[in-house]
Chains A and B, each alone.
Chain A
């Protein structure tokens, strides 16, 4: 059992509804869970179940109707650089070079901003591309730049909302391995939203399955396999089938 002090994120009775044209759409209905310091938690769920809404609430971009999110025991009140969001679309600024993007989040008073940016560009494998503009990079390199820009500000938490979904299958897999390699060096707490169950098994320590709207936690799975993982192993496949079953997909192995 994790001790109380190692709880990084506590989501308590979060509810959220969207109202438009007098239709009240309850998106999240009383959600409770905790994420421990350094833990990698993946959230899977049917599309439209409110995963992104949940992530936006946890990261502070959206206020819940009731309930609250505590980070390090402090009630979340707006986004900040201790938790950086990485989305499917990406948000690397196209008008800044890779290096300028990496330096963007670093306050001016941080010493050696340039050296730090170079260090993280190298960490994600972008050495030699520091002075390129994003439109000169491939999709995978752009993702690396975004991850580096997040890591360089030394956040405690990474919020990843379908981060690799826009990449082709091969590049997605490659980026998953990259992410694991980087996380082995820099211990971060990670929340990952994905619709790809194999990706969740490959990366996460724990997988939460959300129900269809209004979202609540339907099931929770520990992923007890040591890294590097083989998603094709019988144990991993059994876990995959169990998760898919929770999602309402039956598959014969």
Chain B
């Protein structure tokens, strides 16, 4: 009941936007721009013949692969850079230069190296999400409060224990922030990457719908589905933030 009350204003805003959209399309009698209802029927059509699920599955698989690779590299690398000063001063400048390069700028190189198969978008997602995660992890290690390291030193624990019980858990909240940023960027990029080539994915759905007979109802359906899935992915990441071992950092 309380949740509903909180969600009510945002539902009203969305309803108003859809209402204006519908009214404008009706008033201008546009032949190409679809009404909200046309988008709904278009979506149902795709869902019924199964292509919608294929596109969603393809996009999610690419994000899963690219993001997973990025996590597997960024977390150990970020921890190492945060802990070992020499690693930080050696690698950080390179990453700081590469980080602002838009993943879109990598598309030609991705096609050159990996062709137009699945590897290209996976590579692009990897490139897009790895740097924010490295940076956040490194920052996380650098911002561990000295009093905690000192306490660990006082108890004379082994290096393994220091790492497992202090350094890693102290950094985990920042790692999760990095993962949230990384996954957000990954989802942005998969759609852009799929617009270039390939035969599946939500990005492909949008471009293909436009090219194959101006099906703008499907274009907008694709956009809305991308938005909703992005929201869901972020929701999963928020679940990580609510874990008790990291709540100390976000609380207040």
- Chain A residues with CB under 8 Å of chain B are 59, 61, 79-81, 84-85, 87, 89-91, 93-96, 100, 104-105, 133-135, 153
Contacts and interface: CB of A to CB of B under 8 A. Distances in A.
Contact of A84 (B154, B172, B244, B248): B154
B165 A104 contact: yes
Interface in B130-175: 147-148, 150-157, 165-166, 169-170, 172
Given A80-B154, A81-B154, A94-B249, 5 more contacts: A93-B166, A93-B170, A96-B165, A105-B155, A153-B155
24 contacts: A59-B154, A61-B150, A61-B153, A79-B150, A81-B154, A84-B155, A85-B150, A85-B151, A89-B147, A90-B147, A91-B148, A91-B151, A93-B148, A93-B151, A95-B172, A95-B246, A95-B248, A100-B165, A104-B155, A104-B165, A105-B157, A133-B247, A134-B248, A135-B247
Interface SS of chain A: helix, strand, loop or mixed?
A: loop
B251 interface: yes
A94 B156 CA distance: 19
Interface string B225-252: 0000000000000000000111111010
B86 to A, nearest CB: 23
Contacts, number: 57
Contact of B147 (A80, A84, A91, A134): A91
A106 B245 CA distance: 21
Nearest to A61: B150
B7 to A, nearest CB: 28
A87 B147 CA distance: 9
Nearest to B173: A95
Measured as residues with beta carbon below 8 angstroms from the partner, the interface class of chain B is: 20 to 34
Nearest to B168: A95
A19 to B, nearest CB: 20
B149 to A, nearest CB: 9
Nearest to B251: A135
Nearest to A85: B154
Nearest to A56: B150
B241 to A, nearest CB: 13
Interface of B: 147-148, 150-157, 165-166, 169-170, 172, 244-249, 251
Contacts of A134: 248
A84 B249 CA distance: 26
Contacts of B249: 94
Contact of B248 (A90, A100, A105, A133): A133
A105 B166 CA distance: 12
Contacts of B154: 59, 61, 79-81, 84-85
Contacts of B151: 85, 91, 93
B155 A91 contact: no
Contacts of A96: 165, 169
Contacts of A80: 154, 156
Quick one: which of B155, B165, B166, B249 has the most chain A CB within 10 A? B155
Nearest to A93: B148
A61 B147 CA distance: 11
Given A80-B156, A105-B155, A105-B157, A93 B165 contact: yes
B73 to A, nearest CB: 24
Nearest to B152: A104
Contacts of B165: 93, 96, 100, 104
B158 to A, nearest CB: 8
A59 B154 CA distance: 9
Contacts of A133: 244-245, 247-248
A52 to B, nearest CB: 12
A104 B154 CA distance: 11
Contacts of A104: 152, 155, 157, 165
B161 to A, nearest CB: 8
B150 A81 contact: no
A93 B147 contact: no
B155 A81 contact: yes
Contacts of A85: 150-151, 154
